[in-house]
Amino acid sequence: MKILTFDIEEWFHILNNPSTKSEKEWVNYESRIHKNMETIFEILDVSKASASFFVVGWIAEKYPEVVRMISDRGYEIGSHTHMHQLVYEQDRPTFYNDVERSIKTIEDCIGKKVELFRAPGFSISHNNKWAFEVLHELGITTDSSVFPIGHAHGGLKCFPSAKPSLIEYNGVTLKEFPINIQSIVGKSMVFSGGGYFRLLPYNFIKKATLKSDYIMSYFHPRDFDYKQPLIQDLSSIRRFKSYVGLKSCKPKLEKWLNDFQFMDISTANDKIDWNQKKVAVLD
C-alpha cells in the first residue's frame, strides 16, 4: 500500500523560524503557489496517480481558486490547519478554533465535507495528545499527523506502529495513517517525503520502497521549486534541509510514480479491514 499526499502551503511556510512565523511576516514574501501547483498537476497528469491534498486554510481563504482546481480534478482534500502553526505551541482552544476555521473555509470552497487532517510539522507529540480529541469533536475521522520516531518537531515516539492503526485516546477513536519508517543498519529512518526524499538518492528510495509494504509519502509545493528565493535568516542546517535537492525532486518523484503504483488515502482506507487493525491506545 503506497499513498501519495501533498501538503498545500506557500514556499515561505517554514516552521519554527522567526522571519516566516506568522501572517505578519508572510506579507514580506511573494506568492509562488500558483506556479508550484501547476508543477504538481503536471506530475499527476503524467503519472495518472491519485493523491490526497492537505490544504492550509489560509491558502483556501486567500486563493480559493487553487483549492477548487484540486477539487475539480477529483482529488481528496483535508485540513492542514488554518494558519500553519505548530500544534504543541498552541493551547487547546486556539487549536480548536484554528482547525475549525480551516475546515469551514475549505468546505466553503469545495462544497464537500472535510474529514481528513494533518498537523503542520507532524507536531502532535506526547504532551498534546488532546489534539486527537479536538479533531474528533470537529468531525475529523482520519488523521495523518503521527511521526512515529523523534524528529525536529517532536514526533510521537510512544506510538506503537508505523502502519495504519486505530488511535484510541480518552474515549475517542480515529483512523491513523502515520509516516512510514524503514530500519537501516539498526536505525529507524524516514525516506518518503520532504527533505528526506530530496536528499536521498533514488536508488536508495527504490530499494527502501521495495522492502516496505506501507508507504505514506508527503510533499509540498516548495519541494519542486528550485528557483524560490533564499530565506536569509535560516541557520546553515535549516538552509540545507530546506533547499537541498530541489532541482532533482520533480524528476525523482516522476520516476517513483512510474516505478510504483500510488493511491490516495480514501482508496487505502477502503482497502483496509479496520476491524482487524491494531488499536493504538494512548495514555
CB-CB neighbours of 234 under 10 Å: 18
DSSP states of 160-208: --SS-EEEEETTEEEEE-PPP-EEETTEEE--SBHHHHHHS-HHHHHHH
**Per-residue cell: 74:** 477529483
pTM of the model: 0.95
**C-alpha to C-alpha distances, 157 to 104, 179, 218, 282, nearest whole angstrom:** 31, 12, 19, 11
Q: How far apart are CA 185 and CA 271, in angstroms?
A: 32
pLDDT tens for the chain, 283 residues: list them: 999 999 999 999 999 899 999 999 999 999 999 999 999 999 999 999 999 999 999 999 999 999 999 999 999 999 999 999 999 999 999 999 999 999 999 999 999 999 999 999 999 988 899 999 999 999 999 999 998 876 666 677 767 778 899 999 899 999 999 999 887 767 778 899 999 999 999 999 999 999 999 999 999 999 999 999 999 899 998 899 999 999 999 999 999 999 999 999 999 999 998 887 767 667 6
How big is the chain, counted in residues?
A: 283
CB-CB neighbours of 36 under 10 Å: 22
**Structural domains for the chain:** 2-281 (3.20.20.370)
31: helix, coil or strand?
A: coil
Look at residues 163, 160, 157, 158 and name the one whose alpha carbon lies nearest to residue 144.
163
210 burial via Cβ count (<10 Å: 0-12, 13-18, 19+) = exposed
**Per-residue cell: 105:** 473555509
Asked if residues 2 and 209 have their Cβ atoms less than 8 Å apart, the reply is: yes
